[in-house]
Structure 1
């Protein structure tokens, strides 16, 4: 309860705060029950997309992972397996674990607000939408031989041969990658003071920007592949990016 002194007298103001239990927990529990019931009834009318038993003589084309792994499978089109299958999932898990330590802004704790947390919400939703876009592409838009088909196109085994891919020259690729991270790390420092970046110490700033730039770079690498047929930015006998 908040008490303020007004014109020499103590004035008792109404406290609009409530306890988490039972006010919030009960509502969340009821919401979870309603969603569970909805999913249960939905499962009565929509069958799971199960295929026939595996036949060694007839390989499935395309062979797709379950939908929750389709995003990783889609990444294999653009990146080497070491990145798409190991580095990217690890960065996602570690990044989510680090969120409470990287963003210790007290605004928005205990109440919902967008105006006070625009950057954090936009970044999180961008990554969320980007991942489910990959899941959608891998699940719905990839046909035989993992060829891209628009939703209105019929899957067929007769399609034009894809354009040949090429790699960037090694010096250009290294310069592009180093320049991308250098500019990305330095640019926010020139934004007006008082923003999120100026409230972070050097370690949290480097980790935050590293994760954000990696997410942006992943999307950028996909655009280079789709728009300019660039397979790898850096291609060496040991590592490809």
Structure 2
């Protein structure tokens, strides 16, 4: 089942991201959850009452990201990577007029250097949301208990985790293929 989810991720990301980087981050993120959660109650066991954040994060990653990818890849994808509803006939000759474009093309940037810097700016701005939230809430008990290093790891993992559904929605609604286009990789 894991490889079905991986196969669906290949629709939205470069193969090295979907096949190597994201599975590695998933494994590392799942291993990091117990170490990032500083709640002294419930050490050695997990109950919803004591570990809402850790269990909620795991359930979002498991059900929303993994099981949804398996469902979409198994029941809604057909020949030619086209969407088919479960009651529709899978026509291998179906042709869908769909033009996928990169994000920089939406903004009229056509040079490769401009695309590189524009995509880098968008990705940097997205990840800077974690820094902004840290400075906005640094006086809260949660941030004080967590600490700067744990917060940085947690923010990176959560923002990366949320990047998958954001990229899926951008592809479904605006036909955006890549957000950041470089000569070496595409995000």
TM range (shorter): 0.7 to 0.9
CA distance in 2, matches of 1:180, 1:186: 10
Partner of 2:54: 120
**2:4 is equivalent to residue 70 of structure 1:** yes
TM-score between the two structures when normalised by the length of structure 1: 0.66
Partner of 2:17: 83
Partner of 2:99: 164
Partner of 1:49: none
- Deviation at residue 140 of structure 1 after TM alignment: 1.8
Task: Tell me which of the two structures has the higher relative contact order, counting C-alpha pairs closer than 8 angstroms and 6 or more residues apart.
Answer: 2
Contact 2:100 2:176 in 1 (8 A): yes
- Deviation at residue 145 of structure 1 after TM alignment: 1.8
Q: Secondary structure at the match of 2:8?
A: helix
CA distance in 1, matches of 2:13, 2:97: 17
Equivalent of residue 140 in structure 2, options 182, 186, 193 = 193
TM-score between the two structures when normalised by the length of structure 2: 0.84
Distance 1:100 1:114, change over 3 A: closer
Distance 1:123 1:153, change over 3 A: same
- Deviation at residue 189 of structure 1 after TM alignment: 4.3
- Deviation at residue 73 of structure 1 after TM alignment: 0.5
Matched residue count: 174
Show structure 1 runs of 5+ residues with no match.
Answer: 1-66
Contact 1:189 1:198 in 2 (8 A): no
Contact 1:167 1:233 in 2 (8 A): yes
Q: For the pair shown, which has the larger CA radius of gyration, 1 or 2?
A: 1
- Deviation at residue 155 of structure 1 after TM alignment: 0.8
Decide which structure has greater helix share. Answer: 2
Contact 2:38 2:146 in 1 (8 A): no
**2:45 is equivalent to residue 98 of structure 1:** no
- Deviation at residue 188 of structure 1 after TM alignment: 4.5
